[in-house]
């Protein structure tokens, strides 16, 4: 039995994550997308329109980081997730990132809704769980990058690229308003842990009256 997600092949690990996230209400229906690097130049990403609670290892496509070209698909009908451009952008900006996880949750959207219209940052509550992002200060002031949701996903990806090329985020995560969080990590297990931690923080903020 695998001790961590990193003991599994990338697609097998992503299947486990998808089923777990679906069971916890973070990837309802076909929502969300997951990816992991196969090597420095390629990553596996979920096929578009697949129910996340029923994924198998054939529901992924191998995409080239450099240009987004699909270089392997097991099922001919598979199309890459609409948000492949966001994953590519993050892998390009952060070469040490080995996995990128995007989900949809009610609490995350509610927490983001508390930010002012047009705000580009969401201040995270200075609670103990922030240590999971290697934040060790007392009462830290940490902001989650916030992006507006538009139908053109390539535009969101471009907004991410432009902002992060100037200033790296304080945490390896971002939030698209009325949509959901995206978290990346130096390993599959780190990305999973940090997604879970961010969900805890955003759930706290959504339910807090302060």
The list of the chain residues with pLDDT below 50 reads 1
Residue 61 has a CB neighbour count (10 Å cut-off) of 22
Per-position DSSP letters for 118-164, written without gaps between them: T-SEEEEP--GGGGGGT--SSS--EEEEEE---S-HHHHHHHHHHHH
* Angstrom distance (rounded) from CA 191 to CA 58: 22
The b-or-e profile of 96-123 (16+ CB within 10 A means b, else e) is ebbbbbbbbbebbbebbeebeeeeeebe
Q: What is the pLDDT of residue 202?
A: 97
CA dihedral 156, 162, 166, 172 (to 10 degrees): 30
The per-residue pLDDT for range 93-130, each reduced to its tens digit, is 999 999 999 999 999 999 999 999 999 999 999 999 99
Q: What is the pLDDT of residue 3?
A: 85
What average pLDDT does the structure give for the chain?
Answer: 95
* Angstrom distance (rounded) from CA 202 to CA 33: 19
What domains can you pick out in the chain, each with its CATH number?
Answer: 5-207 (3.40.225.10)
The share of the chain scoring above pLDDT 90, in percent, equals 94
Q: What is the pLDDT of residue 175?
A: 98
Task: Report the relative pairing of strands 99-102 and 60-64 from DSSP bridges.
Answer: unpaired
The b-or-e profile of 170-190 (16+ CB within 10 A means b, else e) is bbbbbbbbebbbbbbbebbbb
- Cα angle 139, 143, 149; round to 5: 150
The per-residue pLDDT for range 71-95, each reduced to its tens digit, is 999 899 999 988 999 999 999 999 9
Q: What residues contact 2, with CB distance under 8 A and at least 6 apart?
A: 8
Write out the two tokens for 120. Answer: 């580009």
Q: Which helix (H) or strand (E) holds 85?
A: helix 84-93
Q: What is the pLDDT of residue 1?
A: 44
Of the candidates 119, 128, 182, which has an alpha carbon nearest to the alpha carbon of residue 148?
Answer: 119
């Amino acid at each position: 039995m695998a001790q961590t997600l990193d003991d599994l092949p990338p697609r097998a690990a992503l299947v486990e994550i998808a089923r777990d996230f679906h069971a916890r209400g973070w990837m309802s229906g076909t929502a969300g997308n997951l990816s992991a690097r196969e090597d420095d130049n390629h990553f596996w990403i979920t096929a578009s329109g697949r129910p996340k609670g029923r994924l198998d290892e054939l529901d992924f496509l191998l995409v080239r980081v450099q240009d987004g070209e699909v270089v392997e698909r097991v099922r001919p009908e598979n199309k890459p997730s609409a948000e492949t451009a966001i994953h590519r952008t993050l892998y390009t900006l952060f070469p040490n990132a080995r996995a990128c996880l995007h989900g949809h949750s009610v609490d995350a959207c509610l927490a983001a809704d508390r930010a002012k219209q047009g705000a580009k940052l969401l201040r995270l509550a200075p609670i103990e769980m922030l240590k999971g992002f290697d934040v060790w200060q007392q009462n830290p002031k940490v902001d989650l990058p916030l992006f507006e949701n538009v139908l053109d996903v390539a535009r969101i990806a471009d907004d991410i690229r432009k902002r992060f090329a100037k200033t790296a985020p304080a945490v390896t995560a971002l939030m698209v308003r009325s949509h959901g969080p995206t978290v990346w990590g130096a390993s599959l297990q780190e990305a999973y842990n940090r997604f879970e931690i961010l969900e805890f923080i955003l759930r706290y903020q959504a339910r807090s009256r302060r």
